[in-house]
């Protein structure tokens, strides 16, 4: 069947397409690099005309025009499931609200919430009438099923990514098509790892066995782990991850990844979204070694745990002496989101031979340049708990690794103080004593802790 007649009939300009939005509507944007940047700009021109249009996005690349052009939020109320850099800036200006989410639950939430319009960036239509979601499968298929109206903008820069499932939408489901939205894709080069990142990465790589199934989070340190694996003699690794990043390409090209020993989806690198540089996007285009799935599949803890020796590697902002982990906020300031960290920490631990690692440098500099410990007696006031103490397994700094599973509160405190920066260990011991976490008869002296690492 030739779908070009339907394609021509549904093709409109961006300004015409956004007329579909009415006051009071809930509008969902495509996620990550499938954000509808042209439609967002077009919708923002209706400032003053619309009222109370609520928008949901995920890690919008850049700054959403609907938020920045409506500083009083009378027309558009912009919300986000997981912040990127632009979303953080909007949040700091009071123009973006965070929506708490455990990522694998995302599609199921749309059985409980309404959406009126979906706007999403897609690949050009294939001969069978399908548009591909490309780099961001995520929750989009479920949103499309729930939305009353669907508008797609076509970006020929998006790679065509094989599924899996839920990676496509058919022209028969689409109300409007906007062409020529060929904005170059955001190239997110991983930060260059410093010596601390490399030290932490070396500790983690020493914990990985041949045949392990790898998940990496975003940031310099997880990418440092990937690079180090690529230079190691590890082999027959598998991939079941939330985000696919450049270091997976490095590992694949180095011959470390075969996916042969995976229990589910053998032979496939499984992911739900990809974010990195052109190297990654070119690698994914029509690559049968990779499979894009919706997030209720990739991040389902039961699916994660099906693969033996699942390894989860994620960053954190701070950890307290109870083992509570914050990876998304500093005090009341939202930085990112829960995302899939909880999913993979929990799922990896329940995998046969699996391990989950929470990684962070032992210190950071505050705005005044003062050195602060990232292992704290208690999380900073207002800080969100991303991983509860009951779920945390391994915590890693440049000073070593702490295994918290099955440990009492005093054992946890001791293990975490042992991997804190030596300059802060005395203070941490004093605070632990005040909180009743420190039992001197069972723990080593502070002088012993100072010498560790």
The pLDDT of residue 124? 98
Query: pLDDT tens, 125-165?
Result: 999 999 999 999 999 999 999 999 999 999 999 999 999 99
Query: pLDDT tens, 394-407?
Result: 999 999 999 999 99
Which pLDDT tens digits describe the chain residue by residue (453 residues)? 889 999 999 999 999 999 999 999 999 999 999 999 999 999 999 999 999 999 999 999 999 999 999 999 999 999 999 999 999 999 999 999 999 999 999 999 999 999 999 999 999 999 999 999 999 999 999 999 999 999 999 999 999 999 999 999 999 999 999 999 999 999 988 778 899 999 999 999 999 999 999 999 887 788 889 999 999 999 999 999 999 999 999 999 999 999 999 999 999 999 999 999 999 999 999 999 999 999 999 999 999 999 999 999 999 999 999 999 999 999 999 999 999 999 999 999 999 999 999 999 999 998 888 999 999 999 999 999 999 999 999 999 999 999 999 999 999 999 999 999 999 999 999 999 999 987 665 555 545 555 554
Where in the chain are the domains?
4-178, 195-451
Task: Identify the CATH number of the domain defined by range 195-451.
Answer: 3.40.1080.20
The pLDDT of residue 444? 56
Q: How far is CA 165 from the centre of its chain?
A: 20
Architecture of domain 4-178 in this structure: 3-Layer(aba) Sandwich (3.40)
- 153, 167, 242, 318: the catalytic one is 242
The pLDDT of residue 191? 79
To the question of pTM greater than 0.85 for the whole model, the response is: yes
4-178 and 195-451 in the same fold: yes
The pLDDT of residue 25? 98
The pLDDT of residue 316? 96
Is residue 49 annotated as a catalytic residue, yes or no? Answer: no
């Amino acid at each position: 069947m030739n779908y070009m007649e339907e394609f021509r009939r549904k093709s409109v300009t961006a300004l015409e397409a956004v007329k579909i939005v009415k006051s009071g509507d809930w509008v969902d944007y495509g996620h990550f690099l499938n954000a509808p940047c042209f439609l967002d700009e077009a919708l923002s021109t209706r400032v003053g005309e619309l009222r109370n249009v609520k928008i949901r996005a995920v890690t919008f690349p850049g700054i959403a025009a609907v938020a920045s052009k409506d500083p009083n939020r009378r027309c558009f109320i912009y919300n986000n499931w997981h912040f990127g850099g632009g979303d953080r800036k909007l949040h700091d200006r009071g123009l973006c609200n965070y929506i708490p989410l455990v990522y694998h639950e995302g599609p199921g939430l749309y059985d409980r919430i309404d959406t009126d319009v979906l706007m999403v960036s897609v690949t050009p239509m294939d001969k069978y009438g399908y548009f591909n979601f490309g780099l961001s499968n995520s929750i989009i298929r479920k949103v499309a099923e729930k939305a009353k109206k669907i508008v797609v903008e076509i970006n020929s820069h998006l790679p065509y990514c094989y599924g899996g499932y839920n990676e496509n939408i058919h022209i028969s489901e689409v109300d409007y098509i906007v062409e020529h939205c060929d904005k170059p894709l955001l190239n997110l080069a991983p930060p260059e790892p410093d010596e601390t990142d490399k030290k932490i990465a070396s500790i983690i790589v020493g914990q990985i066995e041949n045949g392990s199934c790898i998940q990496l989070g975003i940031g310099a340190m997880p990418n440092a782990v990937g690079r180090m694996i690529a230079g190691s003699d590890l082999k027959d690794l598998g991939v079941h991850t939330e985000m696919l990043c450049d270091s997976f390409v490095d590992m694949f090209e180095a011959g470390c990844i075969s996916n042969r020993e995976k229990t589910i989806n053998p032979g496939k690198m499984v992911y739900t979204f990809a974010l990195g540089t052109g190297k990654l996007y070119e690698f994914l285009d029509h690559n049968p070694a990779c499979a894009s799935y919706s997030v209720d599949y990739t991040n389902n803890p039961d699916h994660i745990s099906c693969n033996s020796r699942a390894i989860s590697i994620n960053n954190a902002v701070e950890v307290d002496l109870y083992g509570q982990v914050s990876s998304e906020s500093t005090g009341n300031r939202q930085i990112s989101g829960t995302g899939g960290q909880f999913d993979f920490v929990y799922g990896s631990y329940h995998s046969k031979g699996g391990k989950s690692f929470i990684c962070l440098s032992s210190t950071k500099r505050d705005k005044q340049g003062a050195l602060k410990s990232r292992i704290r007696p208690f999380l900073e006031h207002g800080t969100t708990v991303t991983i509860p103490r009951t779920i945390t397994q391994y915590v890693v700094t440049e000073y070593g690794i702490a295994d918290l599973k099955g440990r009492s509160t005093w054992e946890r405190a001791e293990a975490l103080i042992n991997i804190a920066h030596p300059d802060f260990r005395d203070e941490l011991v004093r605070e632990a004593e005040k909180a009743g976490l420190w039992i001197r008869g069972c723990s080593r002296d502070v002088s012993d802790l100072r010498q560790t690492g």
